[in-house]
Amino acid sequence: MTALLELAGVAKRFGGFTALADIDAGFAAGEIHCLLGENGAGKSTLCNLAFGIHAPDEGELRIDGAPYRPEGPRDALAAGIAMVHQHFSLVHDMPVVDNLMLGQARGILDRKGFAARLEALGAEYGLSLSPFARVGDLSIGERQRVEIVKCLMREPRLLIMDEPTAVLLPDEIGALLKVCRAVAERGCGVVLVTHKLAEIKQVADRVTVLRGGRVVARSEDPAGEIDSLVRAMVGREFGGLDSLAMRNLGMAAEEEGRAQPAGGDGADAGGRPRTPEAAQFDGLTVRDAGGATRLDNFTLIVRRGEIVGVAGVEGNGQSELGDVIAGLAHPDSGRFHAAGRDLTRARPAEITAAGVGVVPEDRHRVAAIVEMGLTENLFLNRTKGFTRFGLMRRGAMRAAAEDQMARFDVRAAGPDVTFGSLSGGNQQKAVLARELTTPGLTFLLAAQPTRGLDVGAVESVYRMIREACGNGAGVLLISSELDEILAVADRVVVLYRGRIVGERPAHPRYRAEIGAMMAGHAADTPPAGPGGGADVDAPPAAGEAA
């Protein structure tokens, strides 16, 4: 294909760090070109160069063979390049049509005209939206549509999409990929940044793989070369890929023999004796400051040696559940027991002392102090073990940190570097290292443990979680990535509007049913897994939080 946008010998440095080096790449009209690479490989930097956010230090960008050096996004838009960022840039208190007019309308505002254009684009691409709906009232998937339509209204020649499916329902992901194909078929080039191999297999015409800021592989047959592309991405043979990471990225074959619903009292469906309880949730209910119910009668038992996945679109009570387990919030009613102790209103230190590990969904806000060193963050929950006569034994803590780094493959220049200087994957491994070595670990909460991580880090994180489960801990895995839950968990409960609305074994055959429940379609049968769940046939209460 003839390249619309070309990069020739491009390099970009940030201080002493080289983000991109000697990049040669071309993106053509009418194709879907996927960028694949680990965190820190340079994918976002490349996209930001194309969109004018950064300028190259070396090399040249060309459009239609002519030099292209944008001084900002305005120049990129004028050249026909639009970008859908991973984090939305919408004004929640404004209607959809007003958001679309921002930066595009001139002179007298023609809201009806923009609304008509919105409806026409929606019909053409299957992106239906209500023009006068308030953005803050839309679902995550609908907000994603607004971002895409905002770009399509500019009639771009090249559309860059950075991790666009990270927050979408399974059905919404499929719909978005169809939009990508429709956009490409109308002659627009699409650059899709994704970590999900299933998406590459489904829609990619070409793939460029980045590692360490350099192009290490290209493919014009991505569906047939997935294994070699992943090996190129991580720079090694990926021994655990087919058994774990490939499954949790949606590439599973229809594997049989996954965990089945429980049978009679004291045994599971296979006749094996049930293990003791690791944690029990009895009617947990949480209301926000405005009185809206965020978590509604959450009832569940997690047994030792099992992983229970909590599926659901973000904002359906998962954060409130995690805060209660971590001791950061108290429920309005209900109880939470773990390791045989009532921890409903316990302080975080008491929860740790009871043998509960907590990997929160926001590692920067809750799980770490990014300005402090890696060593201190590895032992935030048990610094008393390194004190003597009231003084900190920093040498002993540093030696223990080095052991943890080796054991959990936390890669850094040394234990004294600041936590914030680590890559996302290494930050997450450090948090897991701390929580998985909680003395007497009985129960582990892992909330969104792979958010923003690449395939190599995902494999490492889930291997650690499975090992903890194998050592007898019960695990509650909260994730918006359904494919990951199906690959790692033993059974799945679905949260919708704060309630458990269904339970299924974690098997690919139940993917469609679970996805439907995530979208608000109530389960047609009650759960039958170990420990049971809430009254799942009851519909969500009207007027509660979406």
Fold of 254-355+438-546: Rossmann fold (3.40.50)
Average pLDDT over residues 15-39: 90
Q: Are 32 and 205 in contact (CB under 8 A)?
A: yes
- The neighbouring-strand residues paired with 504 are 492
Residues in Cβ contact with 529 at an 8 Å cutoff, skipping those fewer than 6 apart: 261, 262, 308, 491, 493, 503, 505
Residues in Cβ contact with 272 at an 8 Å cutoff, skipping those fewer than 6 apart: none
Mean pLDDT of the chain: 82
Average pLDDT over residues 58-73: 94
Question: What's the full length of the chain, in residues?
Answer: 546
Residue 344: predicted pLDDT = 95
Q: Are 464 and 307 in contact (CB under 8 A)?
A: no
Residue (of 472, 482, 484) closest to 518 by Cα position: 482
User: What is the C-alpha separation between 153 and 359, in angstroms, rounded?
Assistant: 41
| Strand ordering across the sheet containing 277-287 | 293-303, 277-287, 333-338, 341-342
User: What is the C-alpha separation between 189 and 123, in angstroms, rounded?
Assistant: 20
Domains 3-80+156-237 and 254-355+438-546 share a fold: yes
Range with the poorest average pLDDT among 159-168, 322-331, 519-528: 519-528
Residue 442: predicted pLDDT = 95
Confidence of residue 403 (pLDDT cuts 50, 70, 90): very high
CA 29 centroid distance within chain: 29
pLDDT exceeds cutoff 80 at 107: no
Average pLDDT over residues 94-115: 81
Residue 170: predicted pLDDT = 67
Extract the tokens encoding 463.
């291997």
Extract the tokens encoding 267.
């045994």
- Residue 189 amino acid letter: G
User: What is the C-alpha separation between 359 and 450, in angstroms, rounded?
Assistant: 11
Average pLDDT over residues 534-545: 36
- The neighbouring-strand residues paired with 8 are 60
Domain ranges of the chain: 3-80+156-237, 90-154, 254-355+438-546, 373-436
pLDDT, tens only, 205-228: 999 999 889 999 999 999 888 888
Range with the poorest average pLDDT among 140-154, 266-280, 282-296, 420-434: 266-280
Average pLDDT over residues 173-178: 84
User: What is the C-alpha separation between 398 and 265, in angstroms, rounded?
Assistant: 49
- Cα–Cα–Cα angle for 372, 377, 378, nearest 5°? 150
Give the orientation angle of helix 111-125 with respect to helix 170-185, to 10 degrees.
100
Paired sense of beta strands 206-211 and 214-219, if any? antiparallel
A 10 A CB-CB count for 106 gives 8
- Residue 219 amino acid letter: S
If one looks up domain 3-80+156-237 in CATH, what number appears? 3.40.50.300
94 secondary structure, DSSP code: S
